[in-house]
Amino acid sequence: MCPVDLSQQVSCDTAAGQLTSRPSPAQSSPFQSGVVMQSLTQEIQSFSRTRLRKQCTRVTSLSGRRIIETWKGSTITVVDDPAPPEKMLGYVPDTSWDLQVGTVKPYLLLGSQDAAHDFGILRKHKVSHILNVAFGVENAFPDLFIYKTVSILDHPDTDLLPHIQDCCDFIQQAHKEEPWSSSTCTHGSLAGTERCGPDPL
């Protein structure tokens, strides 16, 4: 069933199993509208759900479990997706490199873990301190930069408040240690890495 706008004529495409509509002429009379409504009612009553196309939807849970929901008429069936376990991720992976760096302040930049692992990017932006807040991401150049690692799980339920003071203290300390005339600092999101300071090279 679908809501009906009396200002439109509605017809049923039984071959496609869909209801379609088009505006009615402005000069339609009440009699014509009544005929249209009667015709619509008959079409809806005579329409069989068996004519609807089978619809399958793959649903991925946060844990990575996948199920397939299949609608056939008014019946839904749910089965586990037979995909190999190694391919069952709880997210859609993006394998492209994210090397963009955003400026928050002259001494504070925002970047991803990809940028933090690219030596050319770090040198270009005169980085000396790196605040790594990515979960499970190693520090790429521990002998060349001053690192602080705060592992924060990238999840909507993660409480950030316990970590903010620690991160801010590191950024402020890095800011005080160097003359900041041409220095920069990169401060990343949960999925990224933070870094700040002038070029140590």
pLDDT in tens, 166-187: 999 998 888 888 644 323 333 4
Query: What six digits make up the tokens of 133?
Result: 């807040």
Torsion on CA atoms 154, 155, 156, 161, rounded to nearest 10: -60
Under 8 Å between Cβ of 195 and 129 = yes
Q: Report the alpha-carbon distance of residue 5 to residue 139 in Å, rounded.
A: 61
- Name the residue ranges covered by the structural domains of the chain: 8-51, 55-87, 101-197
Q: What stretches in the chain show pLDDT beneath 70?
A: 1-37, 49, 62, 73, 83-93, 178-201
CA distances from 99 to 70, 112, 117, 185, 195 (A): 40, 7, 9, 15, 14
pLDDT in tens, 138-164: 999 999 999 999 999 888 788 999 999
Q: Which residues pair with 113 in a beta bridge?
A: none
Fold of 101-197: Protein-Tyrosine Phosphatase; Chain A (3.90.190)
